Copies of this chain bind each other. A is one copy, B any other.
Amino acid sequence: MLIGELAEQAGTSTRMLRYYEAHGLVRPERTANGYRCYDEAELRVVREIRGLLAVGLGLDDIRPFVACLRAGNPSGDACPDSVAVLRRKLAEVDDYIDQLGAVRRQLQTQLAHAITVRPR
């Protein structure tokens, strides 16, 4: 499978596939003429990457998942490193949600004040 085809299959761009490769996440073979050549396993890897990116993980966070898949596991989250990342990220998201809640309260307070000061 060439890069364009994989991009289409995985719902991303060739740009991103090369980008992931530059960051050590994807490891395509090369054909005689130097074209990148991907097998089905790589498609699964890219799908995993895309899914995790969508959930808010960064490329560095995703590395363990890919390693896990590459180690033969059916799913990328079946390894302790992956689980650790998921736990950490969950905690981060929780923190962020709390912060946003605080911000929300701040905004509401300010809004209430604004309306009190100048009722109409």
Interface residues of A (CB under 8 A from B): 55-56, 74-75, 77-79, 82-83, 86-87, 89-90, 93-94, 96-97, 100-101, 103-104, 106-108, 110-111, 113-115, 117-118
A-B contact pairs, 18 of them (CB 8 A): A55-B106, A55-B107, A55-B110, A56-B103, A74-B117, A75-B117, A77-B110, A77-B114, A83-B115, A86-B107, A87-B111, A90-B111, A93-B100, A93-B107, A97-B100, A97-B101, A97-B104, A100-B100
Question: Which of B82, B90, B100 lies in contact with A96, CB distance below 8 A?
Answer: B100
A100 to chain B, nearest CB (A): 5
Tell me if A107 and B78 are in contact (CB < 8 A): no
Number of copies: 2
> Given A100-B100, A101-B97, A113-B75, is A107 in contact with B89 using a C-beta cutoff of 8 Å?
yes
Chain A to chain B: the 6 pairs with minimum beta-carbon distance, closest first:
A77-B114, A90-B107, A86-B111, A78-B118, A78-B117, A55-B106
